[in-house]
Amino acid sequence: MKKLSLQWRITLMTVLLTGVTCISMNLLLCSSGVYYMDSIADSLQDYGPIVLEDGETASFDPQLVPSGEGLTIVVSGAQARFRTTNWYITAAIALLGGMLAYFVSGRALRPLRRFAQQAEQVETSNLSEIRLDEETLPELRSLTHALNEMLERLSRGFDAQRQFVGNAAHELRTPLTLLQTQLELFPDEHPDILPESAAFLASLQDEVQRLSRLTHALLDMSDLQSVPRDDVILLSPMIDEVFADLAPLAERNGISFSREGEDVTVVGSDMLLCRMFFNLVENAVKYNHPGGTVKVDVQQRDGQVVIHVADTGRGIPQEFWQSIFQPFFRVDKSLSRELGGAGLGLPLVWEIARLHGGRVWVEESNDSGSVLAVTLPLFAPITDTVRGENSILYKLSDHGQTKRGT
């Protein structure tokens, strides 16, 4: 049955259901007809035997019995009950057949549901990892193979695009650095420059700095896959380090920092996770109100590390809660340009969290501020006592994977 195509499965099941339904209906209708015909015969026998002129008796013959109300009532009542019972039987058989057809067709279409579930798991972030199971029905096998080939082409296309972006950013970084240096040295080498020219040079310098930041962000996003992620990291010192790095920016805006929660350890890339926290906190500072606060809370929950970054800023409209993690998307383009944003900070956070087996989302946002949440898998150290070695196994709670450290 497993090797049969979906078309043959549905055909055979339809034939089987139709045959069973017809046979059942015929058997029940015949049984009902015989029963009611017998009841008619029993009622007619109440008229007694027919006495002939010579005094002999004969079997009952309806043509020899004068029509009477009793006979008419008996026959009419039997016919009415027969019709009513047949309708009940037909309705019951139809209902039963529908239920069986629904159940059987559901089993026949189960491969389609599995196919849909596998297809729903495909995302732009896992094109190189996920493939649909081709051990399925003949019709779906060709479709699954075509989709897998399409996923492979898409994965190669994204890899080529990522490589192109990295190469372009790498090629742009050197001339931009040289141009920025020349712009910074030009006023010192030409002290008699006109004010209009000085303002123009300052504007050029700002644009070059913005392009440099964009180039560095593109380089970071293109090189994420190649960064090792096996460092044992204590989150509290890392968050304090991010606070220290952003302290000058926070002081200019009167923003205060606070950290709450547990002191947990994760395994990943120290550089990438530090960049993730830096982008989250920097974003909370830039788009905060003067005199506001930024709070980072770290908790353990259901085998995961949950980090909340809360601010008292302008808030994010709910229709943009998903869009802010897309590259180059900015809620307020004029404000982002004024603050020097390129629209790559939060997309970089999303990609780093995904690479570490976590995710990021907007948990809450209104006029009084926003709360962004990040989850990371919790790694628990397990002493290796079997071999007696001086080593530790770091176990990933969510996936059951282990890594050895010293």
Could you tell me the CATH number of the domain that includes residue 181?
1.10.287.130
Beta strands at 293-301 and 256-261: parallel, antiparallel or unpaired: parallel
Greater model confidence, 275 or 109: 275
Rounded CA-CA distance 365/319 in Å is 11
pLDDT band at 48 (very low <50, low <70, confident <90, very high): low
Concatenated DSSP letters of 34-96: HHHHHHHHHHHGGG-PEE-TTS-EE---GGGSPP-HHHHHHHHHHHHHHHHHHHHHHHHHHHH
**Tens-place pLDDT, residues 282-309:** 989 988 888 899 999 999 888 889 999 9
In a shared domain, residues 281 and 182: no
Residue type present at position 296: V
* 312 falls within a domain: yes
Last residue of a domain, one of 205, 222, 239: 222
**Res 149 pLDDT > 70:** yes
* 131 falls within a domain: no
Residue type present at position 359: R
Number of domains within the chain: 3
* 400 falls within a domain: no
Rounded CA-CA distance 400/49 in Å is 90
Contacts of 391 (CB under 8 A, 6+ apart): 384, 404, 405, 406
* CA dihedral of 39, 43, 45, 47, whole degrees rounded to 10: -170
What is the reported pLDDT for 307? Answer: 94
What is the reported pLDDT for 105? Answer: 73
Task: Take residue 18 and report the two structure tokens written for it.
Answer: 């139709």
Beta strands in 98-236 (DSSP E): 231-234
**Tens-place pLDDT, residues 321-364:** 888 888 777 777 655 555 656 677 888 898 888 888 888 999 99
The mean pLDDT of the chain is: 75
In a shared domain, residues 335 and 240: yes
User: Tokens 């049984």 identify what position?
Assistant: 31
Least confident of 87-101, 104-118, 219-233, 391-405: 391-405
**Res 389 pLDDT > 50:** no
* 151 falls within a domain: yes
In a shared domain, residues 190 and 47: no
**Tens-place pLDDT, residues 178-204:** 888 888 888 888 888 888 888 888 888
Beta strands at 369-377 and 304-311: parallel, antiparallel or unpaired: antiparallel
Residue 289: CB atoms within 10 A of its CB come to 15
Rounded CA-CA distance 308/191 in Å is 50
* 394 falls within a domain: no
Backbone angles phi, psi at 122, to 5 degrees: -75, 125
Rounded CA-CA distance 36/256 in Å is 92
In a shared domain, residues 234 and 376: yes
In a shared domain, residues 250 and 354: yes
In a shared domain, residues 196 and 234: no
What is the reported pLDDT for 42? Answer: 64
* 398 falls within a domain: no
In terms of residue numbers, what domain contains 100? 6-108
* 130 falls within a domain: no
Any idea what the CATH number is for the domain that residue 339 is in? 3.30.565.10
The alpha carbon of 125 is separated from its chain's Cα centroid by a whole number of angstroms, namely 12
In a shared domain, residues 66 and 183: no
In a shared domain, residues 168 and 218: yes
What is the reported pLDDT for 303? Answer: 81
Is-contact 227 356, C-beta < 8 A? no
- Find the mean pLDDT for residues 201-215: 78
**Helix H or strand E segment including 260:** strand 256-261
User: Tokens 């960064």 identify what position?
Assistant: 227
Rounded CA-CA distance 327/309 in Å is 20
In a shared domain, residues 11 and 103: yes
* 154 falls within a domain: yes
Last residue of a domain, one of 189, 222, 255: 222
Last residue of a domain, one of 222, 254, 289: 222
In a shared domain, residues 217 and 236: no
In a shared domain, residues 240 and 200: no
Backbone angles phi, psi at 102, to 5 degrees: -65, -45
In a shared domain, residues 323 and 205: no
Task: Take residue 304 and report the two structure tokens written for it.
Answer: 């995961």
Burial of 27 per CB tally in 10 Å (0-12, 13-18, 19+): exposed
Question: What are the residues facing 297 on neighbouring strands?
Answer: 260, 308
Q: Number of C-alpha atoms within 13 angstroms, CB side, residue 261?
A: 21
